[in-house]
């Protein structure tokens, strides 16, 4: 398992952490493609700077979710993608991708799932006044942040925490944890292929 496609919707800081891990030889994989549903997002600039091909689309330009997911699927096949890595991709994955890439789509989420799934997980954690949040890497299923958990790391929330300071702490953990987990998965998939 070597070829990765990263899906992102925004700034792409986790995408950058994965790019860096590959260039530092901490992740034995090739990022073949960025898929971005927000044309002009900064993640696309990161792809251009790293010489990574990208596919931009707007969901509203398609008849329905199936239509754009079938186009994404064709791109994934064209690039021989083995593993789909969601890094701030703000759309639920539909049945076409889930069926074709079952057990090979992973996501990172800024909370200790199952706590605070969905949007604004950090805001949810602050509103709930919890003392600990964190980061979860999990397999993707049809639900919202509900797939099997692969790895988690905790982040303590200070009494005077703001969304900005918590975001900084969470990102720091994400940028270490995600590439490490991806390397673990890549190694595992390689072993499985060799043992077939």
Which residues are known to be catalytic? 109
The widest CA-to-CA distance across the chain, in whole angstroms, is 53
User: For 194, how many CA atoms within 13 A lie in the half-sphere containing its CB?
Assistant: 7
| DSSP secondary structure letter of residue 23 | H
Dihedral pair phi/psi, residue 15, rounded to 5°: -60, -45
Dihedral pair phi/psi, residue 93, rounded to 5°: -85, 135
The residue written with tokens 């008849």 in the block is 63
Cα angle: 108, vertex 179, 97; to 5 degrees: 50
The residue written with tokens 């049945």 in the block is 95
CA distance 73 to 97: 6
Element at 76 (helix H, strand E): helix 65-78
- First-to-final CA distance of the chain: 13
């Amino acid at each position: 398992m070597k070829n990765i496609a990263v899906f992102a919707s925004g700034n792409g800081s986790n995408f950058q952490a994965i790019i860096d891990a590959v260039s530092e030889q901490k992740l034995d994989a090739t990022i073949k493609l960025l898929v971005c549903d927000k044309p002009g997002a900064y993640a696309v600039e990161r792809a251009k700077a790293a010489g990574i091909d990208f596919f931009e689309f707007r969901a509203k330009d398609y008849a329905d979710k199936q239509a754009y997911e079938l186009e994404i699927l064709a791109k994934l096949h064209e690039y021989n993608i083995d593993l789909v890595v969601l890094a701030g991709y703000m759309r639920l994955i539909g049945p076409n991708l889930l069926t074709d890439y079952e057990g090979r789509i992973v996501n990172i989420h800024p909370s200790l799932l199952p706590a605070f799934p969905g949007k604004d997980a950090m805001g949810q954690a602050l509103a709930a006044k919890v003392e600990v949040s964190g980061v979860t890497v999990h397999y993707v299923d049809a639900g919202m942040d509900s797939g099997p958990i692969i790895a988690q790391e905790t982040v303590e929330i200070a009494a005077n925490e703001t969304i900005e300071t918590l975001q900084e702490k969470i990102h720091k953990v994400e940028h270490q944890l995600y590439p490490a987990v991806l390397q673990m998965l890549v190694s595992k998939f390689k072993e499985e292929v060799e043992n077939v």
